[in-house]
Amino acid sequence: PAEDEARIDEIKRLLEERNAVLVAHYYTDDAIQQLAEETGGCVSDSLEMARFGARHEASTLVVAGVRFMGETAKILSPEKRVLMPTLEATCSLDIGCPADEFAAFCDAHPDRTVVVYANTSAAVKARADWVVTSSIAVDVIEHLHTRGEKILWAPDKHLGGYIQKKTGADMLLWDGACIVHEEFKAKGVDDLRSIYPDAAVLVHPESPASVVEVADVVGSTSQLINAARELPQQEMIVATDRGIFFKMQQAVPEKTLFEAPTAGNGATCKSCAHCPWMAMNALDNLAGALRDHSGEIFVDAELRRRALKPLERMLNFKR
């Protein structure tokens, strides 16, 4: 629509005027991902978003994603201005892991190394020994397990359970979940596979164990896109936020991608597997953030100092 065109032009102009770069997550709307690509920004998972933002020379980062991604960007680049289209975009994992309750949980288990998923507040990160994203989580836990460390893991119990199974590490799990991935159903995937028996099943490990069990490939968003490229199958059933189809289809234009069912009856659901908070990022509020610097992220200096340590461990981690 012409309205969108005008917004897009305005955003492009403002990005230049403000010496800003757009860093977008795979789960944001297609229009935002496309804009990030066209303007020399990046579209990626939270690990690469963090790396890209920290490396980039722009003085302002516009982070289209959810709150913890903006906070992470600010923690890594305190000298940069970090803007988000909306500060309301949170995450069920972040909400389900309040800093005070989490600190009490850690205090009760002082013998454990505290590893938290990136989808947490700065205050929770500040209490952790390690921060990990799903693309690096298995490798980090494997490393800690090899050193004989016992783990306290938060907040995603499905991802934690998956890593535990995969590495054999001793992991105590916080009881949190992603409201998007938790809705995928193994029965729905099976039913869809009975219609497309040659399809590969690609699953993000925030999904329930029963869905992970029927997967051909389990991995983070970037890993699933790579798998779509590398697998011989021409059809893919994908269990993660449907925002991923923008980049995945670009990577494999000749392949057919299906959303994994969330309803359990084999019917694909057009609106279920999409994060309501990611969906709050739109062209309008993105333009607004650049125009008047609304949605600016600030992180308390002392909190930042403490949260930076476990984040840097992650960024410096080599397998």
CB 198 within 8 A of CB 233: yes
Question: Which of residues 60, 77, 92, 164 is near ligand SF4 by CB under 6 A?
Answer: 92
Task: Kindly tell me which of 180 and 200 has the beta carbon lying closer to ligand SF4.
Answer: 180
* Phi and psi angles of residue 121, each rounded to the nearest 5 degrees, phi first: -70, 165
Nearer to ligand SF4, 8 or 115 (CB): 115
Element (H, E) at 229: helix 221-230
183 near ligand CIZ (CB under 6 A): no
Stretch that binds ligand SF4, among 36-44, 48-56, 274-282, 303-311 (CB under 6 A): 274-282
Give the residue with the Cβ less far from ligand SF4, 58 or 63: 63
Identity of the residue, 7 or 162, whose beta carbon is nearer to ligand CIZ in the bound complex: 162
**45 in contact with ligand CIZ (CB under 6 A):** yes
Q: List, edge to edge, every strand of the sheet that includes 81-83.
A: 42-44, 20-25, 60-64, 81-83
Contact flag: residue 71 with ligand SF4 (CB under 6 A):
no
Maximal C-alpha separation, the chain: 60
Number of residues that bind ligand CIZ (CB under 6 A): 9
Stretch near ligand SF4 under the rule CB under 6 A, chosen from 11-19, 90-98, 256-264, 302-310: 90-98
Nearest to 137 by CA among 42, 215, 219, 213: 219
Within 10 angstroms of residue 187's Cβ, the number of other Cβ atoms is 15
Q: Apex CA 78: angle with CA 304 and CA 18, to 5°?
A: 150
For residue 178, state whether it binds ligand CIZ (rule: CB under 6 A): yes
| CA 159 from centre of chain | 12
Q: Give the residue, chosen from 206, 237, 280, 289, that forms a contact with ligand CIZ under the rule CB under 6 A.
A: 206
Q: Which of 29, 45, 48, 241 binds ligand SF4 (CB under 6 A)?
A: 241
Residue 217 C-beta: closest distance to ligand CIZ, Å = 15
Distance (Å, rounded) from C-alpha 185 to C-alpha 208? Answer: 8
CB-based contacts of 189: which residues, under 8 Å, 6+ apart?
201, 211, 214, 237, 239, 260, 261
Confirm or reject binding of residue 122 to ligand SF4 (CB under 6 A): no
* Residue partners of 219: CB distance under 8 A and separation at least 6: 134, 135, 202, 204, 205, 226, 227
Which residue of 28, 72, 221, 262 would you call a contact of ligand CIZ, by CB under 6 A?
A: 221
The interface with ligand CIZ within residues 73-132 (CB under 6 A) comprises 118-119
Measured in degrees and rounded to the nearest 5, phi and psi for residue 16 equal -70, -50
Please identify which residue in the block is written with the tokens 């032009």: 9
Residue 221 binding partner per list ligand CIZ, ligand SF4, none, with a CB distance cut-off of 5 to 8 Å that depends on partner kind: ligand CIZ
- Rounded-to-10 torsion of CA 13, 16, 19, 22: 70
Ligand-binding site membership of 207 (annotated): no
Report if residue 32 touches ligand SF4, rule: CB under 6 A.
no
| Residue 113 touches which of ligand SF4, ligand CIZ, none (Cβ within 5-8 Å per kind) | none
Provide the annotated binding site: 25, 46, 91, 117-119, 134, 178, 204-206, 221, 275
- Chain residues that interact with ligand SF4, rule: CB under 6 A: 27, 66, 91-93, 119, 178-180, 206, 241, 275, 277-278
